Structure formats: C-alpha cells, structure tokens
Chains A and B, each alone.
Chain A
C-alpha cells in the first residue's frame, strides 16, 4: 500500500477510534443515569456495540488485507461493514418491540443514518468490483462532483461524527433531566 492510502487509513482509523471511545463513554453515562429500557438507551446500546464490532472487524481486515486474497478481502470489507449496519437497524427495531417501546426520534435518526452508511458502502463497492480498481484509482471516478474515494471516506466519517454528536446530546439531556428536579 502506498503512502496516501496509509495516511487515509490512519486518519479514518483515528476518527473511528475517537467515535468508539465517545460512544462507549456516552453508553456508560446513559447506563448510569438513564432508564435502561428507554428508546434512547436501546439505540445507544446498539450503536455502541455496532461501532465496537465495526472497529475490531475493520482492524483485523486491514491487518490481513494483503495476506489473504485481495479480491476476496474487497468483497469482505464492504459486505461485512454494510451487514453490521443492517443488523444494527434491525436490532434497534426488535429491541424496541421486545421492551414495548416506541421508536423515538433518535432511533429514527440512527436507523436512517445506518441506511445511509450502507448506501455509501455500496456506492464504492460496485465500481471497485466492476472495474477491479484500487482505492487510489477510484479517484478518477466521480459521483455528485466528488471522487468516489473521497465520497466514501468523507461520507462514512461525517455520518459517524454526526451520530456521535447526536448520542452526546441525548446523554447530555438525559443527565440534565435526571438532575433537574
């Protein structure tokens, strides 16, 4: 892998680690102060688990990218990460049904964002497989005025940071509500 790819992976990994730590923090605070059967708590729980699993899975895949067949790893990368997002969506919904809760606004936002993440994964997956190109070569392909490679890395980062801000705000309001009276 060349220097640019390593830098992109480095930045993305740092943001992913930051997102995981923030999510774990918000989850712990929500578990201490919030109602453990409420819609925001269920959503944060699923999101935190998904982020941890994604982080571990992507770490393992990056380490083994050139050890195992590259073509196979390309399939595995996009399909596994998209699957985790889809499972998150279903988990949020089914846990709400299990605990007899209604899907709140935060749950809707997280489910919608997960669908967006899957879409971004698939937008890069198809051209990479069809044209059999590396992520650097993808820079020559453009969609919505952006190169596919930057659409993927920026899209994933922006959506994850947006979700982090949402969870932090939810927990912040939970804490205020708890200690207000």
Chain B
C-alpha cells in the first residue's frame, strides 16, 4: 500500500476522532456539572468569594463575621440585620460572575420578601 494512502487514512481517523471525542467530552462534563449543581444546590463560598474579589460581597462577608462570629451565607445575612437590598445586589453580582442560578433564585426570593414586607407595612 502506498505510504500516501496510509498517511491519508491515519490523518482522517485522527481528525475525525479528536473533534468528536472532544465534543462528547465537553457535553458529558457539562451534563455532570449541571447534575452536580442540582444535587448539591450549594456553593463553596470560602473558595469562590476570594477568587471573585468583589468588594461588596467581601464587605458583606466581613459584616457576617462581625455580627455572627463566623462566615454566614448571604441569604442568612438579612436575619442579622443587613438590608435586603444590599444582599440582593450581592446575590445578583454572584449570579453574574458564576452564572449559578442558585444566586439568582435567592435574589428573586429576597426581592419578593422585600415586596411583601413593604405591602404589609403599607
């Protein structure tokens, strides 16, 4: 068999295998990632807050430590007296950074809470 044919077939096999393997791999990773998020429904604050370096979130976490003695999740901060609006903004910022819908859901929850509180007050 001519060496050119062997080369052509080898190249074709390689060039067909690599992209499709890659497509399957990222598809699998993406599905696993979504499943993990659904199962855990949590976020590692200690690792991610520091890497995000978003000043408002960091100051809120410091406030949480000051009020509570240790780190608390953002949606618990309102129980410690931090304004809903501030936490809501932090949640939305986290959503923008991470695209994790948990943060968006929490922000929406806070917006609804805020709306209901205002209705009751009025």
Instruction: Categorize the interface residue count of chain A.
Output: 20 to 34
Question: Which residue in A75, A100, A126 is a CB contact (below 8 Å) of B9?
Answer: A126
Q: Across the interface, do A130 and B30 meet the contact criterion of CB distance under 8 Å?
A: no
Q: In the complex, A163 Cα to B4 Cα: how many Å?
A: 34
The prevalent SS among residues of A at the interface is helix
Q: In the complex, A12 Cα to B110 Cα: how many Å?
A: 55
Closest to A88 in B: B19
Contacts of B9 in A (CB 8 A): 126, 130
Contacts of A90 in B (CB 8 A): 22
Residues of B2-21 whose CB lies within 8 A of A: 4-5, 7-9, 11-12, 15-16, 18-20
Stretch from A17-25, A110-118, A143-151 that touches the partner: A110-118
Q: In the complex, A111 Cα to B21 Cα: how many Å?
A: 12
Residues of A90-127 whose CB lies within 8 A of B: 90, 93, 100-103, 108, 111-112, 114-115, 118-119, 121-122, 125-126
Q: In the complex, A126 Cα to B18 Cα: how many Å?
A: 17
Contacts of B51 in A (CB 8 A): 100
Q: In the complex, A97 Cα to B6 Cα: how many Å?
A: 36
Q: Across the interface, do A111 and B30 meet the contact criterion of CB distance under 8 Å?
A: no
Q: In the complex, A95 Cα to B121 Cα: how many Å?
A: 49
Q: Which residues of A contact B (CB under 8 A)?
A: 71, 75, 79, 82, 85-86, 89-90, 93, 100-103, 108, 111-112, 114-115, 118-119, 121-122, 125-126, 129-130
4 other contacts beyond A89-B22, A102-B99, with CB at 8 A cut-off?
A100-B51, A101-B99, A118-B16, A126-B12
